[in-house]
Amino acid sequence: MDADYKQNSLDELFDVNPVPLDEFLEGEKYLHLRGGLSGEQFKAVKVSTQIYYPELVDRVGWDVLPNFNESVLLWGKGSGKDFVSAVMLARISYLLLCLNDPQRYYGKAAVTAIDMINMAFSSQQAQANFFEPFAAMCEEADCFKGQVKIKRDFLSFPKKRIRAFSGHSFGGAVEGKNLIVGVLDEIAEFKTQKELEMSGRRSIRAPKYSAEAVYDVIRSSVDSRFSTGKVILLSYPRYKGDFIMEMYDRDSVDENAYASKGATWDVNPTVTEESLAIEKRRNPERFQAKYNVNPAASEDSFFKNENVLKETFPVITEEQSPIYDDLAPRFKPWFKCNHQFLCSMHVDLSKSKCRAGIALTHQSGTYNNKVYDNTIGGYVDEGLPIITIDYITSFEAPVAGEIDYEKVREFIKETRNRGFRIGVLSFDGFQSVDMMQHLTKAGFQVAYRSVDRTTVAYDDLKTLLYEGRLTGGYVMPRSLVINGQKKPINVIVEELESLIDLKGKKIVHRVGGSKDEADALAGATQGSLELGLWRFDDVNMSVEKASDSVNRFDAMRNNVIIPGHRQDELFNQPGNFNYRGTP
């Protein structure tokens, strides 16, 4: 706004003196909303529609709010996001129309249009959910009578050259627009660029329509034209860490942005949690994401019960941990095996050579589950294996370096030296031929095992977790640098939460995640299930043969596989593992 025009009186600046927001919402000459907006909806509209310069806001007599240039509304489905979006654009249209010369007020050429856009993922969503209610709102309000013209997917106020568009991701909707406000409707439906690349959609157009690309285009268009312009993001989350949640986390600590998060019933009191009971019962995980804005780690999460993960892998202190957990883990002096069971170890060597996950497990007993046997017409005991975790850890490469595989080999040998009897040592195959040959010569029973080609290993791990038959998973959080700050991260829980089931064919991690320790755990538990329950007599190492299980250990050498006896019932299952500490 030029300095001279800025000093004009209010009568000269305005054709019509603007009314406060509450009157605009409920007044008979305006939107005339019966019942108005909820407190959270009203606040979001108020901070997102203050497009006048602060000096003018003060002269009009309204509260001068911080100049929030962005609003992130992380609200549940049914909270009224589309309705609130329509109200926002109607309010901004009204404020612009009240100005005598909006182009001159913002320092624009007289022939320049001032544009608004609501960008949705699909044309149907753009039309039905936003534009039709918005057009009806403007058509029926007395304050817009005789000024508005409505077309198929945009409306305009020709006298003041103000336009409002309804766009979608495949329409090139932003080109040529002079945006003062851009609304990104259900932005979480837009795939991130990495998700598009992972899905194989590598066409020349794909990056253009990623969530980041759509946001960047809208953001840059607004910033380059209006200092009081707004970008508004609306969505419920699809999975933890998706685009809307990342933007909420970022903007909630940004003094120039407004961030609001709320379950459906908190934002829209006309909806109660009880009224959604059927939705909650049919699909509790989806309910948490869509309505309670508390999603699983991914939209297609393999492990949807996060509480089970946290209960299975409780946090312990650094003093209780048996491992010095740095880039190259080492055992503490006091850590030794205190059980008599045969173990399975699996090593997952990362393709990027930046991380290697290692897990050691053993079958420590069985759980007697009663099942009906048709052949005898009665119930029988089914011995279901109980698997106990001895440890989970990983080696990480230094900055601009690679993992020292020699340290990995020494760690494996040291596990044996600490008294653990390793029945099978398996590798995923990648970059592991040399290591497998070396450890075979060192007396280990080495095998190849892939947890990627099928979902079998992860299916078994999931069953063990959900049935409470996986124990001993005490974990010390690892300090990782995230956004420039060190944060304690429970790595195995983070990795398991990030796993995605690709249509029952493969288990992968979501974009930006990892699964080195998760793969190691899945491989180790699979090995323990195959080995079965073997207990050793520590005094004389004597063999008590099970009826059908001893042949698999014919190739014993160097006390790597020490003869033992197979057990079909729970026997001396450790009640606690002192070397793991007691959480």
pLDDT grade for 5, boundaries at 50, 70 and 90: confident
3-state secondary structure of 384: strand
The pLDDT of residue 320 is: 87
Query: What backbone phi and psi angles, to 5 degrees, belong to 375?
Result: -65, -30
Percent of the chain with pLDDT over 90: 50
For residue range 10-50, list pLDDT tens digits in order. Answer: 999 999 999 999 999 999 999 999 888 999 999 999 999 99
d(CA 433, CA 140): 74
Q: Which strands, in side-by-side order, build the sheet including 257-262?
A: 149-150, 154-157, 162-168, 114-120, 179-185, 230-235, 70-75, 257-262
**More reliable by pLDDT, 125 or 232:** 232
State yes or no: pLDDT of 205 exceeds 70: no
3-state secondary structure of 367: strand
108: nearest Cα among 162, 173, 183, 167:
162
State yes or no: pLDDT of 481 exceeds 60: no
* 89, 163 Cβ separation under 8 angstroms: no
216: nearest Cα among 239, 243, 245, 186:
243
Class of domain 325-477+516-558: alpha beta
d(CA 15, CA 178): 23
* 29, 129 Cβ separation under 8 angstroms: no
Structure-token pair, residue 218: 């809208």
Cα atoms found within 13 Å of the Cα of residue 353, Cβ hemisphere only = 9
What angle is formed at CA 265 by the lines to CA 47 and CA 71, rounded to 5 degrees?
A: 20
- Beta-strand relationship, 162-168 and 342-349: unpaired
Query: What backbone phi and psi angles, to 5 degrees, belong to 534?
Result: -125, 130
**Strand residues in 464-571 grouped as ranges (E):** 470-471, 478-482, 485-489, 499-502, 506-509, 534-535, 565-566
d(CA 570, CA 380): 16
Q: How far is CA 543 from the centre of its chain?
A: 50
The pLDDT of residue 513 is: 73
Interhelix angle 211-223/243-251, rounded to 10 degrees, is 40
Structure-token pair, residue 234: 């609306």
The pLDDT of residue 434 is: 85
State yes or no: pLDDT of 484 exceeds 70: no
The pLDDT of residue 102 is: 95
Residues, the chain, total? 583
The pLDDT of residue 551 is: 33
When the pLDDT of each residue in the chain is averaged and rounded to a whole number, the result is 82
179: nearest Cα among 116, 130, 137:
116
* 118, 177 Cβ separation under 8 angstroms: no
For residue range 145-171, list pLDDT tens digits in order. Answer: 999 999 988 899 999 999 999 877 544
d(CA 453, CA 179): 49
For residue range 489-504, list pLDDT tens digits in order. Answer: 788 988 888 888 776 6
d(CA 223, CA 43): 23
Class of domain 3-266: alpha beta
d(CA 557, CA 547): 22
Residue 346: is it exposed, middle or buried by C-beta count within 10 angstroms (0-12/13-18/19+)? buried
d(CA 152, CA 135): 10
553: nearest Cα among 445, 459, 453:
445
What angle is formed at CA 250 by the lines to CA 215 and CA 134, rounded to 5 degrees?
A: 45
Torsion over CA of 510, 512, 517 and 521, rounded to 10 degrees? 0
Question: Where are the chain's structural domains?
Answer: 3-266, 325-477+516-558
- Beta-strand relationship, 330-331 and 323-324: antiparallel
pLDDT grade for 258, boundaries at 50, 70 and 90: very high
Cα atoms found within 13 Å of the Cα of residue 393, Cβ hemisphere only = 20
51: nearest Cα among 11, 86, 97, 5:
97
For residue range 326-371, list pLDDT tens digits in order. Answer: 778 999 999 999 898 999 999 998 755 678 899 999 999 988 877 6
Torsion sign (Cα): 259, 295, 452, 529: positive
Which amino acid is located at 94 in the chain?
Y
Query: What backbone phi and psi angles, to 5 degrees, belong to 8?
Result: -60, 155
Q: Which secondary-structure segment (H or E) carries 235? A: strand 230-235
d(CA 513, CA 482): 13
**More reliable by pLDDT, 545 or 531:** 531
Helices (H), 49-107: 54-60, 81-98, 102-105
For the entire predicted model, the pTM comes to 0.59
The pLDDT of residue 431 is: 63
Task: Tell me if 3-266 shares its fold with 325-477+516-558.
Answer: no
pLDDT grade for 74, boundaries at 50, 70 and 90: very high
**Lowest mean pLDDT across 2-6, 66-70, 423-427, 481-485:** 481-485
- Beta-strand relationship, 499-502 and 506-509: antiparallel
d(CA 388, CA 469): 8
The pLDDT of residue 539 is: 32
Tell me the C-alpha to C-alpha distance, in Å, between residue 266 and each of 79, 246, 270: 8, 21, 9
The pLDDT of residue 324 is: 84
d(CA 414, CA 324): 14
What angle is formed at CA 120 by the lines to CA 151 and CA 83, rounded to 5 degrees?
A: 75
pLDDT grade for 109, boundaries at 50, 70 and 90: very high
3-state secondary structure of 184: strand
State yes or no: pLDDT of 561 exceeds 60: no
pLDDT grade for 573, boundaries at 50, 70 and 90: very low
Query: What backbone phi and psi angles, to 5 degrees, belong to 99?
Result: -70, 145
Cα atoms found within 13 Å of the Cα of residue 5, Cβ hemisphere only = 15
State yes or no: pLDDT of 262 exceeds 60: yes
**More reliable by pLDDT, 307 or 114:** 114
392: nearest Cα among 448, 475, 454:
475
The pLDDT of residue 3 is: 64
Per-residue burial over 311-345, b = 16 or more CB atoms within 10 Å of its CB, e = otherwise: ebbeebeeeebbbebeebbebeeebebebbbbbbb
State yes or no: pLDDT of 467 exceeds 50: yes
3-state secondary structure 275-317: HHHHHHHHCHHHHHHHCCCCCCCCCCECCCCHHHHHHHCCECC
